[in-house]
């Protein structure tokens, strides 16, 4: 059977993501965990954390891939249909968990997942 192992890298990376108020990029993790592990390891740990459903992946308006801890998801079949707010000044991406946009798709389109990112200024930067 395929086991999941608890390693230093995985623990530190997950901690870092969970302690961050905003979504973090690979480069943020790398900068924060300087020396703990290799670049490549970070990519692989992120992959695993995603698969285990402990974090989710967000692509911000600039195409930067970021990761955030899952707070509201009870199981690994989570949905992330809420809005992500991307501040143009401080560049922070925050999950606005409670907000769900309403819209209708044209006929014959089958919806699977949504990625809503709005940008502007966050309360701190406005």
Q: Which residues bind its own copies (CB under 8 A)?
A: 59-65, 83, 85, 88, 96, 99-123, 126
- CA distance between the termini of the chain: 52
Beta-carbon count within 10 A of 13 CB? 25
Smallest gap from Cβ 91 to DNA, in A, equals 12
Residue closer to its own copies (CB basis): 35 or 123: 123
- CA 13 – CA 115 distance, rounded (Å): 24
Size of the site for DNA (CB under 7 A): 25
Which of 10, 56, 84, 92 is in the footprint of DNA by CB under 7 A? 10
- In this structure, the number of other CB atoms found within 10 A of the CB of residue 106 comes to 5
Q: The tokens of 15 are what?
A: 């901690």
Residue 97 Cβ vs DNA, minimum distance, rounded to whole Å:
23
Q: Give the phi and the psi of residue 41 in degrees, each rounded to 5.
A: -60, -40
Catalog residues that contact DNA under the rule CB under 7 A: 2-10, 25-27, 36-41, 43-45, 48, 63-65
């Amino acid at each position: 059977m395929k086991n999941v192992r608890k390693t230093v890298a995985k623990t530190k990376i997950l901690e870092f993501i969970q302690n961050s108020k905003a979504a973090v990029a690979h480069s943020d993790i790398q900068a924060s965990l300087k020396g703990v592990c290799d670049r490549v390891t970070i990519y692989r740990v992120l992959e695993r954390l995603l698969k285990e459903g402990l974090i989710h992946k967000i692509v911000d308006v600039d195409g930067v891939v970021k990761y955030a801890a899952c707070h509201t998801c009870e199981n690994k079949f989570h949905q992330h249909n809420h809005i992500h707010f991307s501040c143009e000044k401080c560049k922070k991406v925050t999950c606005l968990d409670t907000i769900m946009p309403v819209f209708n798709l044209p006929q014959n389109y089958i919806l699977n997942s949504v990625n809503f990112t709005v940008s502007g200024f966050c309360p701190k930067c406005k």
